[in-house]
Structure 1
Amino acid sequence: MTTERGVVRRPPGRKAQILVVASERFHRSGYHQVSMAEVAAGVGITAPALYRHFTNKPELLRQAVGAELAALRTAVTAGRAGPAELCARLAAAAIDHRALGTLWQRDARLLPAAQRAGLRRELRADVRRMAEVLGLARPELGRADAELLCWSLLSAYGGLSYHTFAPPRRRFERLLTGLGEALLDVPFGPPGPPAPASAELSWPAVADTRREELLAAAARLFHQRGFDNVSTDQLGAAVGIAGPSVYKHFDTKAELLAATLVRSRERLWHEISAALAGAATPAAALDSGLRAYLDFARRHVDYLGVTVSETERLTEPDRKAAIDARRDLLRTWVGLLRQVRPEYDKAEARIRVHAMFSLVNDGVRNRPGCQRADLTERLEAFARAVLGVS
C-alpha cells in the first residue's frame, strides 16, 4: 500500500498471512517441494517482498512451526477449566490448524538441532499444562500417566493432518470433543502381566542379504535423522561398506527409500491380513487386527516412522503407490469399524480410524512414553476409546 507521500507501508498482518500460506504449502506438499516464490504468490506479493519478512526458507519454516505451536498453546490456556473444555478448545484448534501434525512430524526435523530442541521444550511445557488440568479432575493419575494421556490426545487430534474431509463444523467439533473426552477418561488400573513375546510371522527368505541390511539401516537412519540428513556414506558405514557401494544395490537414494517403504508395507499387510483372516466376526477381526497393528508398531518402529514422515520425499510414481496402499489399509479399517459400529457414517469412521493410527504411530515412537513396560496395554485401551469400541 502506498501513501500520498509515496511511502510504502506493509498491509497489517502480512507476516501472519505469509505464515498461514507457508504452513499450508509445507503441509500439503512437503518443505522441499515448496519454493519461496510459491509462498509469495500464495500471499499475492513478490519474492523480494517475502524476504523482507523472512531472511530465508529455513527461518520461514521455523516461524511457521512456531506459529502452529502458538495456536496450540492458546487452546491449552483457554481450556484450563477442565478436561471437557480442554478437549473442546483443542478440537477447534485441530480443525483450524491441520498443518501442525505434518509440520511437527516431518518438516520440523529439517531445522537445526538447537531450534528443534527449543520447539520441543515448548510442546512439552504445553503437555505439562494439559496434564495439570487432567490431574485436577483425575487425582488418581500419576504425572507420567496424565502426560501419556495428554500426548495421546494431541496425537489423536493430529490425525486430522492426514486427511482433508470434514463433516459440518459443529458436528466435527462435537465428534472430536467427545472422542477426546473418552480418551482422557480411560481408566488406569494396575498394569496387567506382560504380553507374551510375539513370534515373528514367517517371511520369505531373501538371497541378497546386503540389500536387506541396507533396507533395515535406511529405515533406522531415515527415521532418526530424516531422508535429507542421511548421506550414502552414512548408509554404507551402517552396513560395513563404502558409500559408493550402496549404488550396487540401488540406483539412487530415492530408490532405496522407495524400497524401504515397500518392505514396510509388505510386512505390515502380511501381519494384519493374517490376523483378520482368522477372526470369526467383525468384532473379533477388529480386536485381532488392532493387536496385530500394535505388535507390528512396537517391533518395527523405524519402518513405521519412515512411512509416516518420508512418503513426501518419494518420486511421484512411488509416492502414488505408497498413498494408494495407505488408502487401501484405511478402507479396510473403516469398513470393519462400520460393521462393528453401524451407527457411524463413513466420515465419522474415517476420522476415528485416522485418530487411532496417529495415536499408535506416535505412541510407540515418542519418549519417554515409548519406554513404558505397559505401553502396548495402554495404547490398546486408548485406541479402543478413540474408535468408540472400548
Structure 2
Amino acid sequence: MSTERGVVRRPPGRKAQILAAASGQFHRRGYHQVSMAEVAAEVGITAPALYRHFRSKPQLLRQAVDFDLAALGSAVRSGSFGPPALCAALAAVAIDHRAFGTLWQRDARLLPAVQRAELRRGLRGEVREMARVLVAARPELSPADAELLCWSLLSAYGSLSYHTFAPPRRRFERLLQQIGGDLLAASLTGAPQPPAVPQLSYGVSESRREELLVAAVRLFHERGFDNVSTDQLGAAVGIAGPSVYKHFDTKAELLAAALVRSRERLWHEVEAAIAGGGSRSNGGPAAALAAGLRAYVDFALRHSHYLGAMLSETERLAEPDRKAAVDFRRDFLRTWVGLLQQIRPEYENAEARIRVHAMFALVNDGVRNRPGCHRPDLTQCLIALSRAVLGLS
C-alpha cells in the first residue's frame, strides 16, 4: 500500500500473518524442514521483507510460540466467570490455534534453555489462573487437584495438533466444551486402585545395541533428533561417538530402529491387555477398553520417552520408515475407536477419534508434567480423567 508521497507501508496485521504461517508450517513439517523463504512465500512477501520483521528463524519460532501462548492467555482471562466459560473460550482457541500442541511439545525444545524456562513460567501462570477459576466453582478441590485437572484440559485440547478431524465449527466447539466440562467435573478421590497389568518380558539382552536404542529414544525425545550428536549418543552408553557406527550405519537408522522398538513394545503390552480383558468371563468391549487403558497408562509411566519420541520425531524418518510409523499410529487408533464405538454407538467416527486422541494426549502429557507426575495416585487419576474425556465416567 502506498501513500501520496510514495512511501510503502506494511499491511496491517502482517506480523500476525507471518506468525500464523510459520506456526502452520512448523506444525506440518517440523522446524528444521521449513525455511524462512518458504514462510515468506506463503505470506506473499520476499525473504528480505520477512527479515525486517524477524531477524532469524529461532526468533520466529520463539514469537510463534509466544503468539499462541498469548491467545491462550486471552482465553483464560475471558473464561474467568467459571468452568463453562473457560471451556468455551479455550475450545475456540484450540480450534483456531491447532498448531500450538506440536509447537509447544516438539519445536519449543529447540529454543535456548532460558527462553524455554520463560515460556514454561508463562504457561504455569495460566494454569494457576485456570485452577483459581475451577476452585471457585469446586471449593472441595485441593490446589494440586485443580491444577492437574487444568493441565489435563490443556492436553486434551492440545491433542487437536495431532489429527485433522474437523466437524462443523459449532458442533466441534460443543464437543470440545462437553469434553472439557466432563474433565473439569471429574473426581480424583475415591477411585479404586485398578488391577496391575503384568509386565511382559521381551527376552532382550542388555547389549550395546540395546543400550543405544534406549539412550537414543530418551535423547531424541528430550532434545530433538537434530540437536543430538553421535558423541552425545556414545557418551550416554559409555563409548566414543564414532563407535555408534559399529551398530548403526547412520543416526537416521538409529532413530528408525528406536521407534520400531518403541512401537513393538507398546503394541505387545496394550494389545495383550485388550485381548485378555475382553476374553475374561465374556467381559466384552467395556472390559477390554478398561484393561487396555490401564496397560497404556502403565506403559506411559514406564516409557514416557518412547511415546514422546514417537510423536515428536516421526517426521524426521525416511519416507518408508515414516509410512510404517504413520500406519502403526492409524491402526492403533482404529483399535481404540472401534472399542469406544461399541460401548458408545451414538458416537460418530469423528467424535470417537477426537475423544481417543484427547485421551492419548492427556496420558502422554500427564506422566511428564511436574509436579503432577510425582503423585502416588497418578495411575488412578489418569485413568479417571481418560474415562472422562472418553465419555465413560
Q: Which string of whole-angstrom CA distances, capped at 9 and with x for unpartnered residues, describes residues 220-249 of structure 1? A: 112222222221111111111110000111
Q: Which residue of 2 aligns with 1:285?
A: 288
CA pair 249-354 structure 1, distance change in 2 beyond 3 A:
same
Q: Which residue of 2 aligns with 1:200?
A: 199
CA distance in structure 1 between the partners assigned to 2:17 and 2:248 by the alignment: 42
CA distance in structure 1 between the partners assigned to 2:269 and 2:258 by the alignment: 17
User: Where do residues 132-171 of structure 1 align in structure 2 (5 Å cutoff)?
Assistant: 132-171=132-171
CA distance in structure 1 between the partners assigned to 2:391 and 2:352 by the alignment: 10
Q: Which residue of 2 aligns with 1:323?
A: 326
CA pair 149-11 structure 1, distance change in 2 beyond 3 A:
same
Does the alignment pair 1:219 with 2:197? no
> Is the CA contact (8 Å cut-off) linking 1:148 and 1:369 kept in structure 2?
yes
> Is the CA contact (8 Å cut-off) linking 2:21 and 2:39 kept in structure 1?
yes
Q: Which residue of 1 aligns with 2:49?
A: 49
Other structure's SS at 1:52 match: helix
Other structure's SS at 2:365 match: helix
CA distance in structure 1 between the partners assigned to 2:126 and 2:362 by the alignment: 18
CA distance in structure 2 between the partners assigned to 1:192 and 1:334 by the alignment: 25
- Code of the residue aligned with 2:113 in structure 1: it is A
> Is the CA contact (8 Å cut-off) linking 1:257 and 1:314 kept in structure 2?
yes
CA distance in structure 1 between the partners assigned to 2:322 and 2:55 by the alignment: 31
User: Where do residues 100-249 of structure 1 align in structure 2 (5 Å cutoff)?
Assistant: 100-190=100-190, 198-206=197-205, 209-249=207-247
CA distance in structure 1 between the partners assigned to 2:388 and 2:308 by the alignment: 23
Unaligned segments of structure 1, at least 5 residues: none
- Code of the residue aligned with 2:365 in structure 1: it is D
User: Where do residues 258-277 of structure 1 align in structure 2 (5 Å cutoff)?
Assistant: 258-277=256-275
Equivalenced residues, count: 388
Q: Which residue of 2 aligns with 1:32?
A: 32
Unaligned segments of structure 2, at least 5 residues: none
> Is the CA contact (8 Å cut-off) linking 1:271 and 1:292 kept in structure 2?
yes
> Is the CA contact (8 Å cut-off) linking 1:283 and 1:340 kept in structure 2?
yes
Other structure's SS at 2:189 match: coil
* Alignment match of 1:253 (pick from 251, 254, 261): 251
CA pair 157-170 structure 1, distance change in 2 beyond 3 A:
same
> Is the CA contact (8 Å cut-off) linking 2:197 and 2:298 kept in structure 1?
yes
| Percent identity of equivalent pairs | 75
CA distance in structure 1 between the partners assigned to 2:214 and 2:320 by the alignment: 22
Q: Which moved more, 1:302-311 or 1:267-276?
A: 302-311
Q: Which moved more, 1:121-130 or 1:249-258?
A: 249-258
CA distance in structure 1 between the partners assigned to 2:308 and 2:351 by the alignment: 26
User: Where do residues 356-371 of structure 1 align in structure 2 (5 Å cutoff)?
Assistant: 356-371=359-374
> Is the CA contact (8 Å cut-off) linking 1:191 and 1:374 kept in structure 2?
no
1:112 Cα shift?
A: 0.5
1:198 Cα shift?
A: 4.8
- Code of the residue aligned with 2:223 in structure 1: it is R
Other structure's SS at 1:250 match: coil
1:199 Cα shift?
A: 4.0
Q: Which moved more, 1:218-227 or 1:148-157?
A: 218-227
Q: Which string of whole-angstrom CA distances, capped at 9 and with x for unpartnered residues, describes residues 294-316 of structure 1? A: 11111111111111222122222
- C-alpha RMSD of the superposition: 1.3
1:351 Cα shift?
A: 0.5
> Is the CA contact (8 Å cut-off) linking 2:197 and 2:273 kept in structure 1?
no
- Code of the residue aligned with 1:308 in structure 2: it is L
1:368 Cα shift?
A: 1.1
1:3 Cα shift?
A: 2.5
1:6 Cα shift?
A: 2.1
CA distance in structure 2 between the partners assigned to 1:197 and 1:177 by the alignment: 33
Q: Which string of whole-angstrom CA distances, capped at 9 and with x for unpartnered residues, describes residues 142-163 of structure 1? A: 1111000000000000111111
Other structure's SS at 1:285 match: helix
CA distance in structure 2 between the partners assigned to 1:78 and 1:150 by the alignment: 16
Q: Which residue of 2 aligns with 1:387?
A: 390
CA distance in structure 2 between the partners assigned to 1:221 and 1:282 by the alignment: 37
> Is the CA contact (8 Å cut-off) linking 1:334 and 1:349 kept in structure 2?
yes
1:189 Cα shift?
A: 1.8
1:204 Cα shift?
A: 3.9
- Code of the residue aligned with 1:175 in structure 2: it is L
Other structure's SS at 1:319 match: helix
* Alignment match of 1:311 (pick from 291, 310, 314): 314
Q: Which residue of 2 aligns with 1:90?
A: 90
Calculate the TM-score normalised by the size of structure 1: 0.97
CA distance in structure 2 between the partners assigned to 1:252 and 1:356 by the alignment: 35
Other structure's SS at 2:54 match: coil
